Amino acid sequence: MTALVVGAARSGVALAQHLSSHGDRVLVVDRKPAEELPRMPSGVDLHAGGYDASVLDGVDVVYTSPGVPWDSDFLNDARARGIQVSSEIDLFLRLCKGTVVGITGTNGKTTTTALTGEVLAAGHRPVIVGGNIGDTVLDRVDDITPEHWVVLELSSFQLESVESPRLHIGAILNITPDHLDRHKTLERYVDLKARAIERADYAVLNGGDPMVKPLASRATGKVVWFDRHRPQPPMPLPGSHNMENALAAAAIGRIAGLNDRVINEAIRNFKGVEHRLELVGEWAGVRWYNDSKATNPDAGRVALRAFPGAPVILIAGGYGSGFELHDWIADALASTEAVILIGASADELAHELSAHPRVLRAKSLEEAVSLAAGLARPGSVVLLSPAYKSFDMFKDFEDRGNQFKRLVRERFAA
């Protein structure tokens, strides 16, 4: 079997390693130059610096990364030649022997996935957490037994690459418009999210979300409304959205057979997820939060509503276009004492925020941190919650968040 892996990021390397170790001939292609790519496993060929349809010659199956559009010309060329098109997560779900929980939604996926992993780990079965949360799972598939719980964060890109996922528990947290540059229509985006529950034994849904609630009609398994879960767990992280995340994790824990005492204890001890309302530290009565994972306005609104009554100094802006900003602007006007704008969207946001009494511009994240430090007073919250993607100034949202944490700690923790 000859396999072509498109994309040499973490999932591509895990794919190449797995396929090669199971006897396949593997070629990895990527548009980046070789010096910017990780080292390939032994026996795997790398074609760096770009590729065209000629790399499909002699290939039996193409495995694509989530970053490649499912309807791209390249993948359609492969299909036209009769070549199977698959993905890391598709292969993993076909091979996985464990009990799979898939969690999707526009916002809150990462926190809920990590929290669900903590809840299930409070039971007696081993737990694996991965998917879009950052840890690849295919490189662990041979170690997963029927006793394992496997908790996966599933993005719309990943769900698109699995024709008909079969999960034991599928959860949809919320749906707001996102990634429409890729999926074209909101209807298509909703359809992809619904794949998580259409063949699941349990569909764990948010009855308080107007776009999620109607999806119950697509479920073939038992529907569990997590917003109705009682008793409410003691969620230590700020914001009503985090209570929703905790309710979803608690509902999944109960399906797994755990009692409320065990579930609540696991949630009470949860420390949060890096880059998602992550407390960097508190100095001179000022709390600094890293919410770099807020890569769209709806995620940014979640953060803005997490600190009622506190004087918030917001650092926002970045890469992206076509976002519906009306509600984010309203929340920023109502919830912030000052807004510091960075990145490619700064001009647009400055115009939209013209009614705000204090809007500042920064040419760099370092300057934004310096401005925020000058404005903050005891009781203030300084919040990096960009509401935009990161690619104009940073490698990714993790790079943005890590730079913010470094700048803050170098200023105050020395």
Q: Residue 341's beta-bridge partner residues?
A: 316, 361
Residue 119: C-alpha distances to residues 53, 59, 132, 260, 377 (Å): 46, 43, 19, 10, 37
What is d(CA 141, CA 94) in angstroms, rounded to the nearest whole number? 10
Q: What is the CB neighbour count within 10 angstroms for residue 103?
A: 33
Q: How far apart are CA 200 and CA 170, in angstroms?
A: 6
- The pLDDT value recorded for residue 328 is 96
Angle at CA 34, nearest 5°, toward 32 and 53? 55
pLDDT number for residue 93: 95
> What pLDDT score does 180 carry?
60
Count CA atoms within 13 Å of residue 288 on its CB side: 23
Spatial separation of the C-alpha atoms in residues 360 and 385, rounded to whole Å: 15
DSSP codes, 299-320: HHHHHHTTSTTS-EEEEE--B-
| Amino acid 230: pLDDT | 95
DSSP label at residue 227:
G
Contact 5, 63 (CB under 8 A): yes
Q: What's the pLDDT score for residue 178?
A: 67
With a pLDDT cut of 70, the percent of the chain lying above it is 98
Q: Are 281 and 413 in contact (CB under 8 A)?
A: yes
pLDDT at 181: 67
Secondary structure of residue 40 in the 3-state scheme: coil
d(CA 334, CA 214): 31
Residues of the chain with CATH 3.40.50.720: 2-87
Q: Are 157 and 66 in contact (CB under 8 A)?
A: yes
pLDDT at 273: 86
- The CATH 3.40.1190.10 domain(s) of the chain lie at 96-268
Q: Domain 2-87: which CATH class? A: alpha beta
The ranges of the chain annotated as CATH 3.90.190.20 are 278-412
Q: Domain 278-412 belongs to what topology? A: Protein-Tyrosine Phosphatase; Chain A (3.90.190)
Measured CA to CA, the distance from residue 166 to residue 284 in angstroms comes to 51
pLDDT given for residue 323 in this prediction? 85
- State residue 379's pLDDT score: 96
Closest by alpha carbon to 182, among 76, 87, 68? Answer: 68
Cis amide linkage into residue 231, ω under 30° from 0: yes
Distance CA 330, CA 387 (A): 14
Measured CA distances, 30 to 52, 81, 310 (Å): 10, 21, 46
Ranges of residues in the chain whose predicted pLDDT is under 50: none
Quick one: 96-268 is in which CATH superfamily? Mur-like, catalytic domain (3.40.1190.10)
Strand partners, 85: 62
Q: How far apart are CA 309 and CA 396, in angstroms?
A: 31
Q: Which burial class, exposed, middle or buried, applies to 14 when counting CB atoms under 10 A from its CB (0-12, 13-18, 19+)?
A: buried
